[in-house]
């Protein structure tokens, strides 16, 4: 998931800091809407593979790619790998004025499963690294329960609300071949960031 760029380079996730210093980042190409792999349903990662070298490398590549693109979340199919893995998180709030004082814990979610807790919806302008330079207004369930395995094969279960719930739902949608543009509340509330910013600034 992404928001409009502010031009400020985001600090990297803890997963990538050492790799930047060593200059060994592996930034993968992010597929854009229209690529058929973004519409596929991804496969569960078998438990015995969670701690494999292949999955470790994939997770590193996903963080490197998300950091380089200033994203707050990335799902494996966005780099062409049809496995149910999501990375998410950010640690600077000044890029997101609407989220003052906010941070989002860096997380690796393998085989995540979302359970809807109630029917309240909350709207948010979403962006996506696979739909660059655009954003659209989407309403999603406000309260969810999410469970997943981390990269150490530890199981987590958590109740999540608000912005974090939006990010997890957006990323988990990718694992089922769904993009946020499929969920637009109103197709008119969608467009290029610079045009929407211009319209906002003239809307007095």
Catalytic positions are 171
**Which of the ranges 64-72, 106-114, 123-131, 185-193 carries the binding residues for Zn ion, by CB under 5 A?**
123-131
The nearest distance, CB 128 to Zn ion, in angstroms, is: 3
**Closest CB to Zn ion among 128 and 196?**
128
Task: Tell me: does residue 138 bind Zn ion (CB under 5 A).
Answer: no
Written as six digits, the tokens of 135 are 């954003």
Strands 121-128 vs 131-141: parallel, antiparallel or unpaired: antiparallel
The nearest distance, CB 174 to Zn ion, in angstroms, is: 6
The nearest distance, CB 130 to Zn ion, in angstroms, is: 5
Q: How many residues bind Zn ion (CB under 5 A)?
A: 1
Whole-number Å distance between alpha carbons of 181 and 57: 30
First to last CA, the chain: 29
Q: In what order do the strands lie in the sheet with 131-141?
A: 121-128, 131-141, 190-192
Q: Do residues 3 and 72 touch, judged by C-beta distance below 8 A?
A: yes
Task: Tell me: does residue 109 bind Zn ion (CB under 5 A).
Answer: no
* Residue 141 β-bridge partners: 121
**Closest CB to Zn ion among 111 and 169?**
169
Calculate the CA dihedral of residues 33, 134, 74, 174 and round it to 10 degrees: -50
Task: Tell me: does residue 128 bind Zn ion (CB under 5 A).
Answer: yes
The nearest distance, CB 23 to Zn ion, in angstroms, is: 28
Q: Give the x/- contact pattern for Zn ion in 66-95, rule: CB under 5 A.
A: ------------------------------
**Closest CB to Zn ion among 19 and 191?**
191
**Closest CB to Zn ion among 110 and 128?**
128
Q: In what order do the strands lie in the sheet with 143-149?
A: 73-75, 85-90, 104-116, 143-149, 155-161
Task: Tell me: does residue 38 bind Zn ion (CB under 5 A).
Answer: no
Instruction: Tell me which residues touch Zn ion (CB under 5 A).
Output: 128
């Amino acid at each position: 998931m992404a928001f409009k760029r502010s031009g400020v380079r985001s600090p990297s996730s803890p997963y990538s800091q050492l790799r930047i210093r060593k200059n060994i980042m592996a930034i993968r190409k992010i597929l854009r809407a229209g690529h058929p792999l973004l519409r596929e349903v991804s496969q569960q990662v078998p438990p015995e593979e969670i701690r494999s070298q292949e999955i470790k490398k994939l997770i590193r590549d996903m963080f490197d790619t998300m950091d380089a693109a200033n994203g707050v979340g990335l799902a494996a199919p966005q780099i062409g790998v049809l496995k149910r893995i999501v990375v998410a998180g950010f640690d600077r709030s000044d890029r997101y004025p609407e989220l003052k004082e906010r941070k989002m814990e860096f997380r690796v979610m393998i085989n995540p499963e979302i359970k809807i807790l109630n029917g309240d919806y909350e709207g948010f302008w979403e962006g996506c690294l696979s739909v660059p330079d655009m954003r659209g207004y989407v309403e999603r369930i406000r309260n969810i329960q999410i469970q997943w395995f981390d990269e150490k094969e530890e199981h987590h279960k958590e109740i999540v609300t608000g912005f974090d719930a939006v990010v997890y739902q957006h990323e988990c949608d990718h694992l089922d071949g769904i993009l946020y543009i499929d969920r637009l509340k109103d197709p008119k509330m969608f467009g290029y960031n610079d045009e929407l910013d211009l319209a906002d600034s003239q809307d007095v």
